[in-house]
A = this chain, B = another copy of it.
């Protein structure tokens, strides 16, 4: 670990993916038959090396130098073009995309390793790159054979990049307000006209072409989201002609300065060609189908920021001395000796590993829903749909908090640009906003997911949370699970409580504390998946303790033992010192105070 650099915690990733989630078992499914656990371990190592050696070194300069416009086009920070080339050639853009056009076809639970580590190494670079994967996947999923042949291979390999063009200056969260127009031409293509704002990597110099996936409204289409269609709008058309797209400006932002956030004008000269994806008026539906992966990715941005923060802070707390040591008389104390510093580090570690447990399990649900046994697919899709808004909103809020605590561990130097934490927190701030604000995630959770299929998603979750009910547990794990059970009950009560509020106080009352409901579930779920990890860790730990080796001896020089021991302490901390946050959320929901609606704003 380093206080200034990012190094992947390979041991933790191996534990989460192979030891607890047992990703190797996915290889029993036909779609993953060509993989095995050994290959997954290899991918962990390769992903780690790529993040550490290629992306991390560009992180600081990406922030300081930022992007600029030269001759009407975006110039990215030094080194980004080369890193992009390596990203494409290494197959990192198409990890979980199908092999047909050069994708790797690996399970999502393995693909997220690449995403997390790349984000942790360099948020600005990686967030921009991720749009290419998303856009390519949309074309692969909904495009015609011609379109797939024209775009997929080049996008999967990173030769061409992609973007998502949704937002317009007057239409942010309300996507239905989009007014960019698409007028069908006799030749089959459409002419696009309109302005798109906040387009991540809307223009840059890293790829030969940029393929925009753009929401627009066709003639006489219905108002709102139902009348929106999705178009492929490449910067350079398949025939090589420059399309009529103008880069107007780039935003000056708090963070992710390595990623150009563009204002783009389409069709200023009435010559912007767009190619309809599938059929008219399908735009929102198409977006929704791939929204789970996109929202999980943004959640991973929070996890990644947290992950880098905890190791930077941890390393600093070991390096930095202050005052006399009470453990080593006559020496100065490393600040990690101080209880308040240890509490902060433990909090960061517990929340980070809780988020990872949550998100990697969610990625595993994606695999199970798409590639697992047919009879279970709906169950996993239900779990997935319920988990996604929590991964996105809880993940990004908590990730930001972890980085904030990291700055606090460093003290004064944490506020300076000599350490990476101040950039980390600035880069992360956007994650609670884009890809649907966290407020919208909470509405999605309680408004859409709770009520869909007559509440079936919640029923599936409740059943899943019975996992420990008749399980025989050993030692301290009994007490932890018993305590967690109280919060599980509280969560279910709070869900019922919200229904009642909806009945008595209407829709506005129902959604008022949706954010509290989401946070409550976030804590209960993170702890649930951590407890599963604890069961694994406990077994391994117990296997190491023998009559001839004491706990102290084990911890002194056995790194494996130390890993399991600390994993157990981490889960213990979550149960007793993080989970209580759920009490606050539950009480706020129960109180159901309507003053925000009654105030005269």
Given the interface pairs A442-B340, A591-B576, the reply to whether A322 lies near B177 with Cβ below 8 Å is yes
Q: Does A330 have its Cβ within 8 Å of any Cβ on chain B?
A: no
Q: Does A172 have its Cβ within 8 Å of any Cβ on chain B?
A: yes
**CA A407 – CA B372 in complex, angstroms?**
41
Shortest Cβ gap from A339 to chain B (Å): 5
B429 touches A512 (CB 8 A): no
Q: Does A577 have its Cβ within 8 Å of any Cβ on chain B?
A: yes
Shortest Cβ gap from A554 to chain B (Å): 10
B576 touches A580 (CB 8 A): no
Shortest Cβ gap from A390 to chain B (Å): 16
- Annotate A396-411 by CB proximity to B: 1 below 8 A, 0 otherwise: 0000100010011001
Contacts of A408 in B (CB 8 A): 432-433, 437-439
Q: Does A253 have its Cβ within 8 Å of any Cβ on chain B?
A: yes
**CA A507 – CA B421 in complex, angstroms?**
31
Which of these, B171, B415, B434, B438, contacts A255 with CB under 8 Å?
Answer: B415
Q: Does A573 have its Cβ within 8 Å of any Cβ on chain B?
A: yes
Contacts of A584 in B (CB 8 A): 580-584
Contacts of A73 in B (CB 8 A): none
Interface stretch (choices A226-234, A285-293, A343-351): A343-351
**CA A197 – CA B411 in complex, angstroms?**
13
Which of these, B198, B254, B565, B591, contacts A580 with CB under 8 Å?
Answer: B591
Q: Does A596 have its Cβ within 8 Å of any Cβ on chain B?
A: yes
- Annotate A554-579 by CB proximity to B: 1 below 8 A, 0 otherwise: 01000000100110011011011100
Contacts of A581 in B (CB 8 A): 584
B176 touches A253 (CB 8 A): no
Shortest Cβ gap from A330 to chain B (Å): 12
- Annotate A502-525 by CB proximity to B: 1 below 8 A, 0 otherwise: 000000110111110000000000
**CA A598 – CA B566 in complex, angstroms?**
9
Which of these, B172, B433, B511, contacts A322 with CB under 8 Å?
Answer: B172
B254 touches A422 (CB 8 A): yes
Given the interface pairs A339-B512, A408-B432, A443-B340, the reply to whether A599 lies near B426 with Cβ below 8 Å is no
- Annotate A589-601 by CB proximity to B: 1 below 8 A, 0 otherwise: 0010101111111
A323 touches B596 (CB 8 A): no
Q: Which of A255, A339, A587 has the most CB of B within 10 A?
A: A339
Contacts of A593 in B (CB 8 A): 572-573, 575-577
**CA A378 – CA B15 in complex, angstroms?**
58
Q: Is the interface of A mostly helix, strand, loop or mixed?
A: helix
Q: Does A417 have its Cβ within 8 Å of any Cβ on chain B?
A: yes
Q: Does A242 have its Cβ within 8 Å of any Cβ on chain B?
A: no
Shortest Cβ gap from A35 to chain B (Å): 34
B598 touches A415 (CB 8 A): no
B417 touches A434 (CB 8 A): no
A434 touches B416 (CB 8 A): no
Contacts of A601 in B (CB 8 A): 314, 317-318, 336, 342, 345, 566
Q: Does A251 have its Cβ within 8 Å of any Cβ on chain B?
A: yes
Please give me the residue from chain B that is nearest to A563 by CB atom.
B600
Contacts of A252 in B (CB 8 A): 416-418
Q: Does A451 have its Cβ within 8 Å of any Cβ on chain B?
A: no
A254 touches B417 (CB 8 A): yes
Please give me the residue from chain B that is nearest to A317 by CB atom.
B601
Please give me the residue from chain B that is nearest to A511 by CB atom.
B339
**CA A438 – CA B335 in complex, angstroms?**
15
Shortest Cβ gap from A177 to chain B (Å): 6
**CA A573 – CA B422 in complex, angstroms?**
33
Contacts of A172 in B (CB 8 A): 322, 411-412
A342 touches B596 (CB 8 A): yes
Per CB-CB distance, the 5 closest pairs between chain A and chain B, nearest first, are A576-B593, A174-B323, A580-B587, A254-B422, A576-B591
Given A251-B418, A339-B508, 17 more pairs with CB closer than 8 A: A173-B411, A174-B322, A198-B412, A252-B416, A252-B418, A253-B416, A253-B422, A254-B416, A318-B601, A408-B432, A408-B433, A415-B429, A569-B595, A569-B600, A570-B595, A580-B588, A581-B584
